[in-house]
Amino acid sequence: MQGILGLARLAVSFFLKDDLGLTPAQMGALTGIAAIPWVIKPLFGFISDGLPIFSYRRRPYLVISGLLGSLSWILLATVVSNVWLATVTLLLTSLSVAISDVIVDSLVVERARKESLSQAGSLQSLTWGVSAFG
């Protein structure tokens, strides 16, 4: 994780350890489950390319993933009180970020194809620089 998500991950670790009383092994298992969306990330690209929503291939998926992530973080902060709810909300937050990552990467590729080689490199550098901040 990079940027602000690294800080969020630290807070989640303390929540899992201190509030839910998970052992390091349990935290590792939960983290492994939450990583599943990153394993199937290419599928999200195929879905957004093949199933446009309201004639758009990217924008609706980005909005939906943002809303899903926001809702998941709010639930994690206010409602989650057991390991099962924590697993579901962390899986949904990870899904949200993975979908957003695919969509943003595809937008950068589409945009870079229209630019010169030096401008395409600058666009990629900007993308990585912004992601470092979250």
Q: Tell me if residue 134 falls in helix, strand or coil.
A: coil
pLDDT tens series, the chain, 134 aa: 456 667 778 888 889 999 999 999 999 999 999 999 999 999 998 998 888 899 988 889 999 999 999 999 999 999 999 999 999 999 999 999 999 989 988 887 777 777 666 666 676 666 666 666 65
How many CB atoms within 10 Å of residue 110? 11
Structural domain boundaries of the chain? 4-133
* Amino acid identity, position 29: A
| Residue in 126, 65, 57 with CA at minimum distance from that of residue 101 | 65
Query: What's the pTM?
Result: 0.81
How many CB atoms within 10 Å of residue 1? 12
